[in-house]
Structure 1
């Protein structure tokens, strides 16, 4: 067999690939769900969520007919909940426009809500065998090293350049194995720090290794603004019930959580709450601070316990809370409170 990048990588992948449940199928719907779940989440964390999700919604039609709250409940703890909302809306769109069958062209797949070029390329190559590149962080890093590219891979123009390189490498080869081979290579060998070049099936072709720059490349400098936010987060109770509200549009949309205000004092919290809900609060105790980190912001939640003299219409017993989709941030708050109580 001719020794080149493609053959070496595909042969290595076929012998050494990681085993995941979504790799046991060519069903584009299942592959789509796995790819959306894998965004910003580790493969180990995704496996149980993926398994439960597919067991519950084994067809697009079942997903489309489910309530959004049921979808959120299965997603609870996985984070980035807008992904769940998008797949629910997309399932409904597919049922309305494609008779419940997942579309089979790159253009149609790319036009689906919540799907970008990487996800569309992954689905097309893995499910349908199309020669479409699937460019994620692993691929950007590998190609940057392979060709000793000194361009910043955080820039769109560099990503387009790398996409063109991969498109040319795919011509005439098994796109599914090649793309997944790049994914596995980046996850296990060509890692961000201390790449294991001695185990790499394409090290002989790597220009960065040849010039001793494999620990320097890629150049990846992102301009990210990160916000630090401080909240008074209220555990508001009436007898053994907890007041929780469903979040409006935006971050953590439709998930349940405690009321919190970006204020400097629990007494200001009480004033703001009474102004909004027309109910007085009694301040009971302080229960420390919980931190939750999102991609571009960090919440510092200062937890205070308040009580109501009358129940409100969205109050839940602890066993009820376990049945509704609650944000991970506020599950942390509840666990912390119960531990401190």
Structure 2
């Protein structure tokens, strides 16, 4: 079989298989570009089964581009809570505002226009254009590269830009006229369900007969992929500060800066145990760690007294692995000395006095938006704040045990 015949066979058998075997997914029930866009962003780094309930809730809350564009960011982040990679949600809302302002709320179909949206890369642009508009654009992700590497025996590193470009060109040649939407979805589906990373299900594969890797016994050694660097470990200590008096039963949380990792989300006050500009993590005995935690939070105007170890937690980002030790802490009595120290640090004086609806809004008269914000919250209040997964687990475990 020559290359042209091999390609025609692949396209024909793939489309037949997809027509028989495609999963019933909520974003496939409509050719709505907005739905397809949302689903593709959510599916980045995330399993389909995990995405489905999030997609349904997100569409219910933000049914149109305009609804997403006009929503408060905190609501968008809260709706995204648990999916991780929160920059996806912020970029999605930014792009929704672009669509509203530049295209009247109608998703564009042009290559440059789609690719110009915030957070939309080559794969996502190709997926939106091909699935929603049936345009013969390549949508090459990890699943697709694995299928193509095996079927066509492409023994090149898929982490290289030249390999991706070669595969994008190949996909364009493979797409039958008028079938871009089904073809690209079928290609993704084959990689997700049959041509899996480990133990591929070759005997049920619709294109197994002419798969070059299978014929040469290389199906499990492809694709070739340079291993990424392991995430850098960091050791952190966090304060679970318990309220007293009118704040009894509540804990203290703070808002992260508006830029950077986990921007704009809420967390327990915590510090890194790195020293100066050193990148290597260090670990400290509990007593020393508690002293350092109390000392650094004092400079933010948060006078606490750690009383002991509460729990440990871990979380892995793409490039960092947090090892976190959480200490139960008490709020120290506010004295003239502590208030003076807080004011001298331009932080948060009179924390118990400056409240909004029972929560602290301790800006101490400063207009510096880069200063952290703090709140006292109960378990029921968690519904109104978006937390990274690691702090969501810590707080849920704490409130459940209490």
After superposing the two structures, state which structure 1 stretch, 299-308 or 331-340, moved more.
331-340
Aligned partner (choices 250, 254, 268) of residue 260 of structure 2? 250
Residue by residue, what CA displacement relative to the aligned partner does 1:1-29 show, whole Å, maximum 9, x if unpaired? Answer: x9611111001001101110000111101
Residue by residue, what CA displacement relative to the aligned partner does 1:151-174 show, whole Å, maximum 9, x if unpaired? Answer: 111211111111111111115251
After superposing the two structures, state which structure 1 stretch, 138-147 or 207-216, moved more.
207-216
Q: Which has the higher contact order (CA 8 A, sep 6+)?
A: 1
Q: How far apart, in 2, do the equivalents of 1:236 and 1:296 lie?
A: 29
After superposing the two structures, state which structure 1 stretch, 218-227 or 56-65, moved more.
218-227
Q: How far apart, in 2, do the equivalents of 1:276 and 1:32 lie?
A: 41
Question: What is the root-mean-square deviation in Å for CA atoms of aligned residues?
Answer: 1.5
Residue of structure 2 equivalent to 1:72 = 77
Aligned partner (choices 273, 278, 292) of residue 268 of structure 1? 292
Contact 2:74–2:386, Cα closer than 8 Å, also in 1: yes
Residue of structure 1 equivalent to 2:346 = none
Contact 1:145–1:208, Cα closer than 8 Å, also in 2: yes
**Structure 1 residues 196-235: aligned runs within 5 Å:** 196-235=201-240
Q: How far apart, in 1, do the equivalents of 2:169 and 2:176 lie?
A: 11
Contact 1:22–1:34, Cα closer than 8 Å, also in 2: yes
Contact 2:148–2:167, Cα closer than 8 Å, also in 1: yes
Stretches of structure 2 lacking an aligned partner (at least 5 in a row): 274-283, 335-351, 353-359, 362-374
TM-score w.r.t. the length of structure 2 is 0.81
Q: CA deviation at 1:237?
A: 2.0
Q: CA deviation at 1:339?
A: 5.1
Q: How far apart, in 1, do the equivalents of 2:399 and 2:74 lie?
A: 25
Contact 1:287–1:340, Cα closer than 8 Å, also in 2: no
Contact 2:18–2:182, Cα closer than 8 Å, also in 1: yes
* 1:130 corresponds to 2:135: yes
Q: How many residues align structurally?
A: 339
**Structure whose CA Rg is larger:** 2
Helix, strand or coil at the partner of 1:276? coil
Contact 1:6–1:173, Cα closer than 8 Å, also in 2: no
1:280–1:304 Cα change, 3 Å: same
TM-score w.r.t. the length of structure 1 is 0.96
After superposing the two structures, state which structure 1 stretch, 75-84 or 319-328, moved more.
319-328
1:173–1:7 Cα change, 3 Å: farther
After superposing the two structures, state which structure 1 stretch, 319-328 or 228-237, moved more.
319-328
